[in-house]
Structure 1
Amino acid sequence: MASTLTSLYDESQLQHGFYVPQFQVKIQGVGLPRDVLRDVIQITYHDNIKEIDGFEITVNNWDPSTRQFKYVGAETSSTQRGLFDLTDKTVEVWMGYATDMRLMMKGTFTTLEPNFNAGTPTLTVRGLNALHQLRRKQYSTTWNNKRDSDIATDIATRTDGSAAGGAKRFPMPLVINSQARDKEAILPYVAQNNQYDIDFLMGRALKLGYVFYLAEGDPSASDPQQQQQHVYFGPSDGMGPGMRDVTFRLRWGASLTEFKPTLTTARQIRSVTVNGWDPARKKAISVKASIDDKDMKVNADLHPLIDAADAHDEVVVNKPVQSEDDAKRMAQGILKDRLKEIVKASGSCVGLPDLRAGRQVVIEGLGARFDGPYFILDTSHSISDGGYVTHFNARRESTGSLEGLQ
């Protein structure tokens, strides 16, 4: 399904003018008491295509009337527990506006950081979503003649032999994109070498241009698969069940409050040659991918800058490839990854809870060199006395069209 291309004017109609930004924190399904809510100074949610989603809550930790600490620092017993102590209680973070809030993530508190300063003492607590459970044990596994989506599915269904009762290595179901899976190459050999499952699968996702993220699910959805928390492994367009499929159109001077692009031709290359060995045919393999190839469309309008910078060819040797097709995919992947680095940017806009890492955003109003689709690398959503703001880092991935958006 094509992603919906939405301007901030259209989104403002849905969010009633972005008035009254709100947040909600629930611990074990129960919202924070009102007196605690009044102590919240700032709440932030952040995500990243290479890291586990997390949140941060900063609260006032001082009661001037009693001249005592409120949450940390006034404990009278080593066994006394407070509201923000590091336990396995489920924490929900919601953000949005008065008429429409989004569940940003579910997780647990993992870090407690009080600041006993001379001004107003504060307490900052941080948490991670359930994916951090996938860093409890490292595994070594091999697969033959499998697609990446099939490998991810296999890992999600495996049990931990050392766990009582043969518990699954994944704490929640995994969802793949079946259409994308059918287009994946069958890989002769893949190895997970003493790695955490999450690090291994994030690495496989990055090689394919996929995302690997935890969807919290929508309890009100009619599809049972969309109701429950699950992990998604697949392309970012059509992010799987539980995520609104929207691409925002942001324009300088209207909806962008800040945008700082960086264009560099350093380390750029014109072509990549992969040399290897075909074990079946017992012959050498040498495959070249060039920016002049007709299917090399990533930032094609900026290729003349690479030529002007006298970029060099790059030869990759001693890489394990099993066939010419495998070598071609590797060469194209290396070249495309480098072309995606030519323009990077950071930006800010009004708080958009659906603007997430792994999605696209269309930038306009800055001229042909910097306009176009950008891939979101990470986002930070913050609500404080200053309102609700979303910051993001992205890379330009223009192909000269908005194909796939409507």
Structure 2
Amino acid sequence: MTTTLQDEALRQGGFYVPRFEVKIEGANLPRDVLFDVRSLTYHDDVEGLDSFEMLVNNWDEVRRAYKYIGSETSAQLTKGHPDHTRMTLFEPCGKRVEVRMGYGNTFTTMLTGSFTTMQPSYADGNADLKVTGLNLLHQLRRKQYTTTWTDKKDSEIAQDIAKRTDNGRPRFPLPIAIDQEALGKEKPLPLVTQTNKYDIDFLFQRARIRGYVLFIQEEDKSIGRPRQLYFGPSKPGMIPGVRDVIFEFAWGRSLIAFNPSIKTANQIGKVTVRGWDRTRKEPISRTVDLDDERITANKDLHRIINACEAREEKVVDEPVFTESEARERAIAILLDQTKELVTADVKVVGVPDLRAGQVVVITNLGARLSGKYFITKTDHTIDDSGYLTGFNCRREGGVDA
């Protein structure tokens, strides 16, 4: 479903009265602490776990002392002391934190996580405390791995990670559940490589690319479900999540800022992948160029790449063993590269449901810049100036593609 910002305004109370909620162990921030929060920012990225950052006033003008860190005594850090809760409120680890953003009384849950960093500043005239946190999934980071899969679907890869062991112990600490219906719709990927990454970060990346969600399902003995990680599409009522919607932004109506780049320096017009046929004991080689019917990204702009006499890229160390695998890998390399031809930094009014991994439509900017864009990163910030969403994106096709 495609919706314009004008339509979204009806859902969000006209974008009036931007608000946020931060709940720690299920309880809202105390009112006096809430007044100390100068800004709240939520970050998400297709390459890793989402996070949040709060900028908090750390100075008590009446007491002439630091509120949360910098003036505490050992006694205040002891349970039972009247100041214990305030002095330890933002300490890393141990607390479940829920971050929500929206307008009026309508909120969207951005993430559930935990505090990971306290960073006070003691510069002259400045007494701020920066508090950052990560999605709870960061607690599943155990060890970095390098693994390669060939001709596997993303859901099959997720299942395989759950089955793998390391020195006789499960490599991943939880079972991984997938959606069987989604599995049936996925297509096998010629080659997927996890390069020196934590399993949870790698799974998160694959989920974002496919538009899936990744979250922990707590144990439910009534239905025999263990505590497990879910990898698959979001379903109504399953978790608080973003809507399945494609936002349309138009210059002159709904874009506050749009800063694009058309870059050809790193573009390639042809890819050759070489490998070794283990059965025939002979080298294999396949070449793919922009005329291949499967190189669909930015098809309307391929003439720009061709005009630059784009170079050929030769890849000789790929783990491919058949001509079919070599061709699939060449297609993947060239397709990924053409998706980077047009990139943009964008700013719009705050839209809680706008997240990394989504596709948006941008119009009123001419044939080369208007089109469908894939969001790679977002920043949602609420401060004294209001609520703004900034995002990085890459063009993957024209408006009618």
Q: Which residue of 1 aligns with 2:121?
A: 115
Q: Distance in 2 between matches of 1:7 and 1:140?
A: 42
Indicate yes or no: 2:131 matched with 1:125: yes
Q: 1:83 aligns with which of 81, 89, 94?
A: 89
Q: 1:58 aligns with which of 42, 55, 59?
A: 55
Write out aligned runs for 1:224-373 (5 A): 231-232=230-231, 242-373=241-372
SS in 2 for 1:38: helix
Q: Which residue of 2 aligns with 1:374?
A: 373
Indicate yes or no: 2:214 matched with 1:210: no
Q: Distance in 2 between matches of 1:365 and 1:195?
A: 40
Matched-pair contact (CA < 8 Å) for 1:147–1:186? no
Q: Distance in 2 between matches of 1:367 and 1:399?
A: 10
Q: Distance in 2 between matches of 1:161 and 1:284?
A: 35
TM-score by length of 2: 0.85
Q: Distance in 1 between matches of 2:25 and 2:114?
A: 10
Question: Cα offset for 1:214?
Answer: 3.3
Matched-pair contact (CA < 8 Å) for 2:361–2:399? no
Question: Cα offset for 1:354?
Answer: 0.6
Residues 59-101 of structure 1 show CA distances to partners (whole Å, capped at 9, x for unaligned) of 1111111111111112101844521111311000000111421
SS in 1 for 2:94: coil
Matched residue type, 2:106: D
Q: Distance in 2 between matches of 1:145 and 1:268?
A: 27
Q: Distance in 2 between matches of 1:345 and 1:23?
A: 27
Q: Distance in 2 between matches of 1:18 and 1:294?
A: 43
Matched-pair contact (CA < 8 Å) for 1:156–1:174? no
Matched-pair contact (CA < 8 Å) for 2:190–2:325? no
Q: Which residue of 2 aligns with 1:196?
A: 198
Q: Which residue of 1 aligns with 2:396?
A: 397
Residues 91-112 of structure 1 show CA distances to partners (whole Å, capped at 9, x for unaligned) of 0000011142100000010010
Q: Distance in 1 between matches of 2:255 and 2:35?
A: 30
SS in 1 for 2:102: strand
Q: Which residue of 1 aligns with 2:220?
A: none
Q: Distance in 1 between matches of 2:287 and 2:203?
A: 28
Matched-pair contact (CA < 8 Å) for 1:268–1:312? yes
Give the number of aligned pairs: 380
Question: Cα offset for 1:199?
Answer: 4.3
Question: Cα offset for 1:380?
Answer: 0.2
Matched-pair contact (CA < 8 Å) for 2:53–2:133? yes
Q: Distance in 1 between matches of 2:374 and 2:342?
A: 11
SS in 1 for 2:123: coil
Matched residue type, 2:295: M
Q: Which residue of 1 aligns with 2:20?
A: 23
Q: Which residue of 2 aligns with 1:47?
A: 44
Matched residue type, 2:9: S
Matched residue type, 1:210: R
Question: Cα offset for 1:314?
Answer: 1.8
Q: CA separation of 1:272/1:205 partners in 2, compared to 1, >3 Å: closer, same or farther?
A: farther
Q: Distance in 1 between matches of 2:365 and 2:196?
A: 46
Question: Cα offset for 1:315?
Answer: 1.8
Q: CA separation of 1:145/1:315 partners in 2, compared to 1, >3 Å: closer, same or farther?
A: closer
Question: Cα offset for 1:147?
Answer: 3.9
Q: Distance in 2 between matches of 1:141 and 1:210?
A: 19
Q: 1:135 aligns with which of 124, 137, 141?
A: 141
Matched residue type, 1:232: F
SS in 1 for 2:327: helix
Percent identity for Structure 1 against Structure 2: 48
Question: Cα offset for 1:180?
Answer: 3.9
Q: Distance in 1 between matches of 2:278 and 2:230?
A: 36
Q: Distance in 2 between matches of 1:14 and 1:191?
A: 41
